[in-house]
Amino acid sequence: MTNFTDEDLDNYLQNQVDLRHRQVSKSVEDVQKIIKDLTAEVSSKDARFQSIANSGVHNASLKDQPALVSKWSALLRGRCAYNPAIQVLTPTLFLISVPLQGLMGYKERRTRQWRYYTLSGSRLLSPVREPEKLHQWLELESFVNPNQEWHDARMIIEGDIVPAKVVNVFKEHLEASIKTCGLTSKVSMLESVGSVVRVAVETSEAQIEVELVPTVELMNYWPKRARWPRLFRRWPSTERARCIKSFGFNLMATSNYHWLLSFSRAEQVLLSNIDEDGGCRRKCYRVVRQLKEDVWCPGSKPVITAYHLQTLLFWTCEKYPCTRDWRDFRGCVLRLVQKLYKCVSQHYLRHYFVRSHNLLKYSNTNELDDVAKKINNFLDNPGTYVH
């Protein structure tokens, strides 16, 4: 067995991981500018959709909550240059949430159980499938003060805000905005997968596939099904967890009828502040992510993405909360890889906030098994890959 040292890992970080980071950062910068212009144009046509410049704590609905904005800025100062709307799933696949406006005063309420309508609004004899663990219905009555523009049959059926219909309206505006902004040479519409709008964006580094998802941003509210932090856990601290929950969650229009719960702001704060004690957690994450993209699971549509690795890192931090657990760089990398192997080989990775949901539930099992074999080969001779 060929092993590696901390020095090997540091060289790997400098020669491989940092290069990737610079390339991805440039792509993010290019994509962000283009999508910012496009969504601003969409917003000028339909004010229910906002520019991505107004995402997260920059949302117009938070102008009267300066304390929350200040808290967010303090937590991420000097740690994160990315727009909070952008999630880098792979170097050539980005997920961008497009904030929605005009839905104020959210309150979780007991919703009626069955729906009997198609997306065109006609009546069904049997009910639509109920949402799964990480999804929910969204009714207009869930908001204390929705703008009048949301009382629109193009988006509402029987009182429900229907994600597929919201996406259709957004897609129409986006197609028109690409022409209006003169971006037809840089942005092209791709065939949609389900209810997700997909575009290809030409950057100076590569062609990036971007998934654009209309998103309801809910600040200062934490969903009941996300029972977090768990009892008797020492990571993160109680104070940090309370702070994170104040940033709320999102509901994303990724399926026909149901809205997907997303905790991207909470995850961003957790990851950005993960090494406050001087540990090597983030370095380990970056090394494992590079190995995944180069060796175990390359390509633009991998079965394992950066989001899976980030979730795995959070679970590992919770299990090993002490500073001394994150001093041995080499040992910590191997521990994270071993945990990844276990999750991939068992086809099971719990969502960090809604732990009853398995993130690998619908993943291709053959692809997972292939990744597990590659990870196992790495564990047999890790030095071969890092050298």
Q: What is the pLDDT of residues 313-367, one digit of tens each?
A: 999 999 999 999 999 999 999 999 999 999 999 999 999 999 999 999 999 999 9
Per DSSP, the residues of 249-316 read EEEE--SSS-EEEE-HHHHHHHHHTTTTTS-SHHHHHHHHHHHIIIIIS-SSS-SS-HHHHHHHHHHH
Residue 255 shares a structural domain with residue 375? no
Q: In whole angstroms, what is the distance from residue 361 CA to residue 381 CA? A: 30
Q: Write b or e for each residue in 44-65: b if 16 or more Cβ atoms lie within 10 A of its Cβ, otherwise e.
A: eeeebbbbbbbbbbbbebbeee
Residue of 98, 44, 83, 99 whose CA lies nearest to 211: 98
Nearest to 224 by CA among 317, 136, 325, 95: 136
Q: What are the angstrom distances between the C-alpha of 138 and each of 163, 180, 261, 367?
A: 9, 32, 11, 34
Does a structural domain hold residue 11? no
* Residue 8: inside a domain: no
Show the CA angle centred on residue 262, arms to residues 259 and 265, nearest 5°. 145
End position of a domain, from candidates 240, 272, 304:
272
Task: Report the 3 state secondary structure along 200-215.
Answer: EEECCCCEEEEEEEEE
- Last residue of some domain: 248, 272, 296? 272
Say yes or no: 365 and 265 in one domain.
no
- Predicted pLDDT of residue 3: 81
10 in a structural domain = no
pLDDT recorded at residue 83: 82
Provide the CA 329 distance to its chain's centre, in angstroms: 27
Q: Are residues 202 and 299 in the same domain?
A: no
* 108 and 242 fall within a common domain: yes
Pick from 272, 306, 339: which residue ends a domain? 272
**pLDDT tens for each residue of 259-299:** 999 999 999 999 998 998 999 999 999 999 999 999 999 98
On whether residue 239 sits in a domain, the answer given is: yes
- For residues 40 and 157, membership in a common domain is answered with yes
Check whether residue 225 and residue 96 sit in a common domain.
Answer: yes
Give me the CATH number covering residue 350.
Answer: 1.10.1410.40
> In this structure, what token pair is assigned to residue 177?
């905005």
Amino acid 105 reads G
Distance CA 279, CA 329 (A): 9
Domain-located, residue 15: no
Tell me how far apart the 2 most distant CA atoms of the chain are, in Å.
Answer: 67
* Total number of domains in the chain: 2
User: Is residue 9 situated within a structural domain?
Assistant: no
Average of per-residue pLDDT across 14-31: 92
pLDDT at 84: 82
Distance CA 43, CA 155 (A): 16
Tell how strand 86-90 and strand 93-99 pair up: antiparallel
Question: What backbone phi and psi angles, to 5 degrees, belong to 225?
Answer: -75, -15
Question: Cis (ω within 30 of 0) for the bond into 66?
Answer: no
Task: Specify whether 91 is located in the same domain as 196.
Answer: yes
- Whether 185 and 334 share a structural domain: no
The tokens for 248 are: 């709320």
Task: Looking at the structure, tell me whether residues 286 and 364 fall in a common domain.
Answer: yes
Mark whether 211 and 260 lie in a shared domain. Answer: yes
Domain membership of residue 302 (yes or no) is yes
In CATH, what number is assigned to the domain containing residue 188? Answer: 3.30.460.90
Positions of E strands within 72-186: 86-90, 93-99, 135-136, 156-157, 160-161
Same-domain pairing of 186 and 127 = yes
The answer to whether the CB of 245 falls within 8 A of the CB of 223 is no
Residue 110: burial class (beta carbons within 10 Å; 0-12, 13-18, 19+): exposed
Contact of 13 with 2, CB cutoff 8 Å: no
- In this prediction, residue 112 carries a pLDDT of 84
195: helix, strand or coil = coil
73 and 215 share a domain? yes
41-91 confidence digits (pLDDT tens): 999 999 999 999 988 655 665 555 666 666 666 666 555 556 889 999 999
> Whole domain around residue 358: which residue ranges?
274-386
* Residue 12 is assigned to a structural domain of this protein: no
Note if the pTM is more than 0.85: yes
